[in-house]
Amino acid sequence: MTKKQRIGVVISDKASKTITVAIKIRHQHPKYLKTLTKTKKYLVHDEKRVAKIGDIVLIEETAPISKRKCWAIKEVLISYEGLS
């Protein structure tokens, strides 16, 4: 079975070996046909602490690491050097 992968933006890197990634999903309302944006936050395991706030990262589903953390960082796609 293939592992799920998502692309998102790092919004927090304050926790030890954990980053928070926000993923935006766009969908259309069935009745009013308006395009809506839904944001979902994931806790992602970052063993080497390579991702910083603002980076665009590729995350991959893993076995549960803690209660809410079942994703791990696969690679940093675009590094943002401007913040912090």
Looking at residue 52, which CATH number applies to its domain?
Answer: 2.40.50.140
pTM: 0.88
Neighbouring CB atoms inside 10 A of 72's CB total 16
Residue 67 placed within a domain: yes
List Cα–Cα distances, 73 to 2, 59, 67, in angstroms: 16, 4, 17
36 φ, ψ (degrees, to nearest 5): -110, 150
**For the chain, how big is the Rg over CA atoms in Å?**
14
Give residue-wise pLDDT tens across range 41-62: 999 999 999 999 999 999 999 9
Range of the domain at 67: 5-78
DSSP 8-class letter at 6? E
> What pLDDT score does 12 carry?
97
Residues in the chain where the model's pLDDT stays below 70: 82-84
